[in-house]
Amino acid sequence: MALVAWAVMPFHFIGGLIQAKSAKGFSRDSAVAHHELVSLVSDSATNIRTIASFCQEEEIMKRARMSLEEPKRKSKRESIKYGIINGIALCLWNIAHAIALWYTTILVHKRQASFEDGIRSYQIFSLTVPSITELWTLIPTVISAIGVLTPAFHTLDRKTLIESEIPRGQKIEKFEGRIEFQRVKFNYPTRPEVIVLTNFSLEIKAGSRVALIGPSGAGKSSVLALLLRFYDPEEGNILIDGKDIKEYNLRILRTHIGFVRQEPVLFSSSIRYNICYGIEHVSETELLKVSRDAKVNDLIVNSYK
């Protein structure tokens, strides 16, 4: 019986290999279908500050859901193909079981083995051989998955200290624009040993223009990051119109602040999408005026020639 088990084991291995190869192909096709979503996620992660400053989180989620429609249709077709291939693999497995069971009945019929011993041997075969085959094909996949998912789960488990929807319901009709930094102390979470701002105080009157001048690393960008609440200070307060910015709804606060980053940011989309980012409805006249004001109209026209 043991010799028969070893003789039919290739059927199990062939069936397992067919399943593994089919699953790998299915995963590869799925990855290609999800290319748009992967690009969107990568783009969003890289430009998260720009997205947050324009309050476009919901728009990004909407685009992500739309990008899943085509992969969903492809997955249905691939599932049918995978089901057929999986059926062939299971057929080979069943052939191996049939041969083992057939030989067991011959041994019992010829009284070369008792019924109990024959059933016991068959059960051992039917439980161990498929398990060995499945483990052999799954071990590389499991190891790879653990390596990929562990940092992802760590990231997903992180809790943000700045809630964008708290407090709820507060609406801001208009800002006067008076900004105050009161004895602010700040360091980046990833570099707690480096103090960026210490006892920093600044008052900016409404309607005025202010330039922050200093060497690289002096904290100029950090002041803007604190104003937009990408981070909260360790100590001190930041006020707009006499009210601590922590008391404002974060999304509403950011809709009242225009933010232009030091380095230009382009999303993986059309030129129109990049120019109109953060605004839902823009007329062609407005689009043309803005492109001319920014002196990029000729560049746009020439790029289509």
Backbone angles phi, psi at 123, to 5 degrees: -65, -40
Q: From CA 109, how far away is CA 100, in angstroms rounded? A: 14
Question: Could you tell me the CATH number of the domain that includes residue 121?
Answer: 1.20.1560.10
Looking at the structure, tell me whether residues 235 and 202 fall in a common domain.
yes
- The C-alpha angle with vertex 60 and arms to 58 and 64, in degrees rounded to 5, equals 115
Q: Is residue 200 part of a domain?
A: yes
Q: Is residue 198 part of a domain?
A: yes
Q: Is residue 236 part of a domain?
A: yes
Looking at the structure, tell me whether residues 79 and 180 fall in a common domain.
no
pLDDT per residue as tens digits for the range 198-223:
999 999 998 899 998 988 878 888 99
pLDDT per residue as tens digits for the range 242-296:
889 888 888 888 888 888 777 777 777 788 888 887 777 888 888 888 888 888 8
Looking at the structure, tell me whether residues 60 and 141 fall in a common domain.
yes
Q: Write the single-letter amino acid at 247.
A: E
User: In this structure, what token pair is assigned to residue 51?
Assistant: 């997205």
Looking at the structure, tell me whether residues 77 and 119 fall in a common domain.
yes
Q: Which of the two residues, 108 and 168, has the higher pLDDT score?
A: 108
Residues 40, 64 contacting (CB under 8 angstroms) = yes
Q: Which residues form the domain of 244?
A: 173-263
Residues 188, 169 contacting (CB under 8 angstroms) = no
Listed in sequence order, the DSSP H helices in the chain are: 2-33, 35-46, 48-53, 57-67, 69-109, 115-157, 220-227, 250-255, 271-275, 284-293, 297-303
Q: From CA 178, how far away is CA 84, in angstroms rounded? A: 68
Looking at the structure, tell me whether residues 6 and 125 fall in a common domain.
yes
Buried-state track 225-262, b at ≥16 Cβ within 10 A, e below 16? bbbbbbbebeebebbbeeeebeebbbeebbeebeeeee
Which DSSP letter does residue 10 get? H
Q: Is residue 163 part of a domain?
A: no
Looking at the structure, tell me whether residues 252 and 272 fall in a common domain.
no
Q: From CA 7, how far away is CA 30, in angstroms rounded? A: 36
Q: Which of 111, 129, 157 marks a domain boundary?
A: 157
* HSE-up (13 A, CA, CB side) for residue 294: 13
Looking at the structure, tell me whether residues 185 and 51 fall in a common domain.
no
pLDDT per residue as tens digits for the range 40-68:
888 888 788 788 877 788 888 888 888 88
Looking at the structure, tell me whether residues 34 and 148 fall in a common domain.
yes
- What pLDDT is attached to residue 239? 93
Q: From CA 183, how far away is CA 238, in angstroms rounded? A: 9
pLDDT per residue as tens digits for the range 177-192:
899 999 999 998 888 8
Provide the domain count of the chain. Answer: 3
Mean pLDDT of the region 81-88: 74
- pTM for this entry: 0.54
Q: Is residue 162 part of a domain?
A: no
Residues 104, 96 contacting (CB under 8 angstroms) = no
Q: Is residue 248 part of a domain?
A: yes
Q: Which of 157, 183, 198 marks a domain boundary?
A: 157
Backbone angles phi, psi at 95, to 5 degrees: -60, -45
Q: From CA 255, how far away is CA 273, in angstroms rounded? A: 18
Looking at the structure, tell me whether residues 60 and 190 fall in a common domain.
no
Q: Is residue 165 part of a domain?
A: no
